[in-house]
Structures are given as C-alpha cells and as structure tokens.
Amino acid sequence: MKTDVFISGGGIGGLCLALKLAKNGVDVTVAERLPGPSPIYKGELLQPKSLEIFSDLQVLNQIMDHGHKIENLQLQELNSQYKRLNESILYYTHLPSDTPYAVMIHHEKLKELIRKRAGNFPNFHYLKGTVCERIEGQTAYVKNRETKKESMIESTFIIGAEGRTSVTRDRMGITVEEETYNHHFLTVTFPRPDSLTEGKIISNDHAFLGLFPLPDNQVRSVYLIPAGEFKKLRKEPISTFHQLYINMCPELDGYVQHIESWKPIQLMVPQRYHIDTYTQNHLALLGDAAHTVHPMAGEGMNMAIQDADVLGELLSDMFKQERLSTVNLEWFPKVRRSRVTYQLFISHLSALAYSYPYKTIRWLRGNGVKRMEKDPILHFKQMLNVSGLGVWKETIVDRMVMAGLLPLRDENATSNKREKRFTREEDYPWKVGRGTLQ
C-alpha cells in the first residue's frame, strides 16, 4: 500500500493531523493500535486555540453539540478545617477570540467526531486495531492485531503520533528523560450537581481538588495525593474517598457516592519531558511523542492539537506546491518548540504552586491569585498563555504586582489585546513571501 503521509497512532494528535491533510487533498493513512474506544481517561478540556482550529476544520459545531462550555475558572482557597478563605474567578471571556471559552468533552467522543469528519474524504484511510511495529526507510511495517496479518505501507512522510511510547521516536534514536513530581492524581468522572457549571479548583494547605463539568450532567475530577499513596488509600473503604471530596466541596455530597468502588478511579502520574528535535529526514513527531506536560493547566491534549495544526498546514502546502524536500519540515519545530517550552514552564509553575503542603504556600497562592484576578494585565496574561492563542510572558513587574509589592494596574493596560495573539504569519511563517518552501 502507498500513501502520501503515514501516521502511526490515531490519538487526538494523529487524528487532527489526518483530518487537516485529508481536507487539503493529501492522501493520509492512520494506523491505530486499539480496535475501539479506550477506557482510559485522557485530556478533555479544549482551550480556545484548539476550538479555533476545530472551527477551521469545520468540526466545531459537532463538538459544541457534545461538549460543555466553560467561561471561567473559580479558584477557591480553604483553611485547614475546610472553611473558605477566598475565591477568585479567572475569565476566558476576556480573550480576543471568536471562541472565548473552553469546552469539556469526553475524549473518546472527540476522537469519534474527528474520525467521522475525516471519513468524509476518500483520501483518509484509518486502520483500526493495527499496530505499527517498525519503520525502515520510507516503509512502515504494520500488523492487524486480530487477524495477525502484516502489511507494508510506503509513504513520503511518516509521523509518530503514538503518545508517550513511540516507535517512531525509537526509530529516530531519541530517548526521553522524564521528570516526575512528588504527587500523583486520582481521576474519576461521576454525576454533578446542577450548580456546578464552570471549572473549579479548590485547595488548602494539604489538599487539591479540580472539578471540570462534562456534558450529560457529569463532572471530571482530579484529586492530588502524595506519590506512592494510592496503594495504601485503596485498602480503605470507598467512603474514605467520598469524604476527601466532600471535605473540599460539600455540594458533592450525594453525587460522589455514585462511585461505588475504587475500580473506576484511575491513577494519573504526572511527567514532563521535551525532546530536542521533532524531525529527522522524512520523520516527524507530534503530541505526547515529542513532549509531555504536567496536567495542572490542562494543556497536554491541546498541545497535540496545536502541533497537528502547524504540521498539517505545512505538509499540505508542501504537497500543494510539490515542494517535498524534507528540509521544509524544520518549519514545524521552528514554530512549535518555543511555544511548547513555555507551556511546559507555566504548567510546571502551576504544579509547584499546588504541590507543597505548607500554610505559607497556601497564603502566597491565595493572595497571588486574588491579585491576578484584579490586575487586568496579570489576568489577561494568565488566560492568554493557557489558551494557546498567544504568549505574553510575565515580567518582574508582574511578579511584584502579584506579590503586592507594586499596585494593581488600571483597565486600559490591556487595550491592545488583539496584538498579543499569534498572527497567521507567526502560525505559518513559510507562507510569508514566495518560494519559501524548497
């Protein structure tokens, strides 16, 4: 079998890339190891930039039909006895975008919608239950896990989108150095009270609970535990787990009890790595195969989608202009690497802010977030940087305002919001001027 682009891995990154290529007339083949939906929780929060990408891919309406819109994030700080100390609200609606909100959607539903949209194009080929076993030159060797049938797929470009364990990355001879954290997360979905419609992060000096409403009156939750604690915790009756949640958020009483055993509760082990190069000859890596991020800021899935958008546009232009030199692939890391580095950094900072059980840290965090809510520059920077729409880095002055060493600024300070967005030229710089591609 021959194809223009072979994608190893039909996760969110691989599918977004495939849809973009198929829509632009490139022949694309995806091999996905799993035969059907995965029972494992993965990213479910779509940030505004990803929503803009889905709008371009003409799949946003379907996503909105199956998603839950989130316009703000409520950050509550409690004392050690779970009494509320303060609450701050950060708004996506301040962002300069046609989609100034986030959307929660079940991960497998999102993949299904993208696959369905891509299926409208005859040049999209999806091989489910098919594992990419190895790559030699321009050829990928794949095997259907049920029939055990092996086949060869020849292609001009091969993209590794296999997530954390990547055959393509191995083929490129790249190893990753994972950084781990002092904490893990328990994550589980259950029915939610009607009042819980926005994102909520509740913390005190020894606990952290994140609540993100899903459609169908459900909520995805993440609860921070010290690394290694899960084994011990699982020996307790499930009512211990219920009580941890109810302590932090009494409104969950009567809802969290729908979790009747430890079985559906998944352990999430945060990691961080970022490889030095995303491309090698005709090979490229995207999403978790290239970088993985602490989940605190909800960026992992969005980074995979944003990688796919840039790489997809680049490959589409290369085929359209018949400029197939592998040198052109370098535009992909040129655009994405520094953005990813910054997103890894802000996710890491958020992780640090919530992962140490000290009252001083709680106090600094509570005050800092309160000032972030009130200061228009800090507020806007925070939401812009997590949204993926742009990067406006924090300065020493910002940090001093946050710490209360300098006064809050006035509203006019962010009048130039649109200018802080990435432009089309910054997203796809090879389009600027003629003959840029070789």
Ligand X SMILES: Cc1cc2nc3c(=O)[nH]c(=O)nc-3n(C[C@H](O)[C@H](O)[C@H](O)COP(=O)(O)OP(=O)(O)OC[C@H]3O[C@@H](n4cnc5c(N)ncnc54)[C@H](O)[C@@H]3O)c2cc1C
Q: Minimum distance from CB of 303 to ligand X (Å)? A: 7
Q: Please, which residue, 40 or 403, has the CB nearer to ligand X?
A: 40
From the list 6-14, 195-203, 329-337, 392-400, the region that binds ligand X by CB under 6 A is 6-14
Q: Under the criterion CB under 6 A, does residue 299 sit at the interface with ligand X?
A: yes
Question: 308-331 as b/e, with b when 16 or more CB fall inside 10 Å?
Answer: bbbbbbbbbbbbeeeebebebbbb
Q: Under the criterion CB under 6 A, does residue 67 sit at the interface with ligand X?
A: no
In one-letter notation, the amino acid at residue 434 is R
What track of x and - describes contact with ligand X for positions 156 through 185 (by CB under 6 A)?
Answer: -----xxx---x------------------
Cross-sheet strand order for the sheet of 84-91: 84-91, 72-78, 199-203, 208-214, 218-226, 183-191, 266-268
What track of x and - describes contact with ligand X for positions 245 through 274 (by CB under 6 A)?
Answer: -----------------------x------
- Residue 217 DSSP code: T
Q: Minimum distance from CB of 420 to ligand X (Å)? A: 23
Q: Under the criterion CB under 6 A, does residue 312 sit at the interface with ligand X?
A: no
- Residue 160, phi then psi, degrees to nearest 5: -90, 110
Number of residues near ligand X (by CB under 6 A) = 32
Span 105-144, contacts to ligand X by CB under 6 A: 131-132
Beta-strand (E) ranges in 14-161? 28-32, 45-46, 68-70, 72-78, 84-91, 102-104, 124-128, 130-136, 139-144, 150-160
How far apart (Å, rounded) are the C-alpha atoms in residues 109 and 394?
36
Span 184-213, contacts to ligand X by CB under 6 A: none
77 DSSP β-pair partners? 86, 203
Cross-sheet strand order for the sheet of 179-180: 179-180, 271-274, 291-292
Residue number closest to ligand X, CB atom: 11
Q: Minimum distance from CB of 17 to ligand X (Å)? A: 9
From the list 81-89, 292-300, 394-402, 406-414, the region that binds ligand X by CB under 6 A is 292-300
How far apart (Å, rounded) are the C-alpha atoms in residues 211 and 196?
8
From the list 28-36, 71-79, 385-393, 411-419, the region that binds ligand X by CB under 6 A is 28-36
Instruction: State whether residue 210 is helix, strand or coil.
Output: strand
From the list 32-40, 224-232, 351-359, 403-411, the region that binds ligand X by CB under 6 A is 32-40
Residue 28 and residue 3 in contact, taking contact as beta carbons nearer than 8 Å:
yes
Considering only CA atoms, give the Rg of the chain.
Answer: 22
Q: Which two tokens stand for residue 241?
A: 């787990």
Q: Minimum distance from CB of 138 to ligand X (Å)? A: 17
Q: Please, which residue, 75 or 222, has the CB nearer to ligand X?
A: 222
Interface with ligand X (CB under 6 A), residue from 198, 288, 309, 375: 288
Residue 167 and residue 160 in contact, taking contact as beta carbons nearer than 8 Å:
yes
Interface with ligand X (CB under 6 A), residue from 3, 5, 6, 11: 11
From the list 8-16, 66-74, 193-201, 342-350, the region that binds ligand X by CB under 6 A is 8-16
Q: Please, which residue, 329 or 437, has the CB nearer to ligand X?
A: 329
Interface with ligand X (CB under 6 A), residue from 31, 59, 158, 159: 31
3-state helix, strand, coil in the chain (%, to 5): 40, 25, 35
Beta-carbon neighbour count of residue 363 at 10 Å?
A: 13
Q: Minimum distance from CB of 272 to ligand X (Å)? A: 12
Span 45-64, contacts to ligand X by CB under 6 A: 45
How far apart (Å, rounded) are the C-alpha atoms in residues 69 and 102?
6
Where do contacts with ligand X occur on this chain (CB under 6 A)? 8-14, 31-34, 40-43, 45, 131-132, 161-163, 167, 268, 287-289, 295, 298-301, 304
